[in-house]
Amino acid sequence: MIQISAVIPVFNEEESLPELTHWISRVMNDNGFSYEIIFINDGSTDGSWDEIQKLASTNGNVKAINFTRNYGKSAALDAGFKKAQGKVVITLDADLQDSPDEIPGLYKMITEDGLDVISGWKKERHDPITKTVPSKFFNAVTRWISGIKLHDFNCGLKAYKLKVVKNIQIYGEMHRYIPLLAKWNGFPKIGEKVVQHQARKYGYSKFGIERFLNGFLDLISVSFVHRYKKKPMHFFGLLGTLSFLTGFVITCWLIFEKVYGLSKGLKVREIVDQPLFFLALVALIIGVQLFVTGFIAELMTSNQSKETEYKIDEELNFDF
């Protein structure tokens, strides 16, 4: 059995790929590991796929997937996880900022310490302050919401037991929250390892400041999906009930007020002339809409498709 699968998303990193492949191979061979390197070319517009093809033709341990276009890091990792066969799966970024020298330590923590997931912690970062300060704030909020005490959710260098990556599905931009997804899927043993962070040697960062805003939105999304994915009516039905009852109570009050006033011979405003009537009407309509939304969501959940969101153009060196 293959001991280690290195899963590496690639987007416009042709210059770093030969050095990265050689570095990983040297670490694996020096430590006597059986291994595979799985590159996922995520719609690169440079010569990354040509370089990957060259590496695969000279190194049988190199395997590759080529997307038809850019689908994002989550899709790339999901495709790589589906193909991985190693006892331990290691994820790295392709820009040489994650050091393959960390692989033996990560492997040991999974196989000997019995952990399910190990997340790298770039304690000393070679990044500008425009990235480090927002990153610290993002990680603090994520720790608070998720309850997982990790310092660096964004670190691309992570290790997993094979059964972890085979039992989670990542989509959208959920790659930052794989430890959270693992915990929710029954793999709670999550650890952390301080790792070396390399200065970027080639090219430029493909991520801007917007990724932190997207990260918060993704965290809200993944938390909501986890809680209500199998029971959407519990969410929409509750809000619908509250809204409908509010409108119903207001309507009853307006009718009572009208009838009582008339019975006493008082001059009472027409119900439709009162602002409360329109608020009640809106609340009733929203309540019904939320109920319908809940029913539709229940139907979609019970018949949800397992189709992947990405398309593969070509694969190299896979036996299955």
Note the pLDDT tens digit of each residue in 9-61: 999 999 999 999 999 999 999 999 999 999 999 999 999 999 999 999 999 99
Angle (deg, nearest 10), helices 232-263 and 275-302:
160
Q: What is the pTM of this model?
A: 0.72
- pLDDT > 80? residue 310: no
Query: Is residue 136 scored above 90 in pLDDT?
Result: no
User: What would the pLDDT profile of 250-281 be if each residue is shown by its tens digit?
Assistant: 989 888 888 888 787 777 778 778 888 889 99
Contact status, residue 42 vs residue 311, Cβ threshold 8 Å? no
pLDDT at 52: 96
Tokens of 288: 């019904």
Range from 92-96, 227-231, 235-239 carrying the lowest mean pLDDT: 227-231
pLDDT at 305 over 50: no
Per-range mean pLDDT, top range of 96-100, 101-105, 258-262: 101-105
pLDDT band for 7, please (50, 70, 90 cuts). Answer: very high
pLDDT of 243-253, one tens digit each? 999 999 998 98
